[in-house]
Amino acid sequence: DAGVIQSPRHEVTEMGQEVTLRCKPISGHNSLFWYRQTMMRGLELLIYFNNNVPIDDSGMPEDRFSAKMPNASFSTLKIQPSEPRDSAVYFCASSLNSNSPLHFGNGTRLTVT
């Protein structure tokens, strides 16, 4: 099992640019989560998908953030336009179902200058 796969591992971009983060969940898992981790705020849930449908996006900071899950094996998190305060590590996690433990990817470290 390859685990949750995220790309890219690192992203450095300039303020105002569009950023797209990618995630491949574990095969057979029906729940997918996007988290953001910072020193100040710890792990924050951004959005939760179940069976490819967004269930809870209340954690998405603002309209600049959007997420999609076009099929069971792929999800994207997009920030447009990016701002320096978006700098953080973004994690994707998947679970067998909504009540099962989460399995995390290795994250994308985003730096917006």
Partner 1 sequence: GQQLNQSPQSMFIQEGEDVSMNCTSSSIFNTWLWYKQDPGEGPVLLIALYKAGELTSNGRLTAQFGITRKDSFLNISASIPSDVGIYFCAGQSSNYQLIWGAGTKLIIKP
CB of 105 to partner 1, least distance (A): 5
Spatial separation of the C-alpha atoms in residues 47 and 68, rounded to whole Å: 10
Of the ranges 15-23, 42-50, 69-77, 79-87, which one interacts with partner 1 (CB under 8 A)? 42-50
Spatial separation of the C-alpha atoms in residues 99 and 96, rounded to whole Å: 8
Contact between 87 and 112 under an 8 Å Cβ cutoff? The reply is: yes
- Checking DSSP bridges between strand 74-79 and strand 88-95, what pairing results, if any? unpaired
86 vs 105 by CB, closer to partner 1: 105
Binding site for partner 1 (CB under 8 A): 4, 31, 33, 42-43, 45, 48, 50, 55-56, 91, 93, 98-99, 101-107, 109
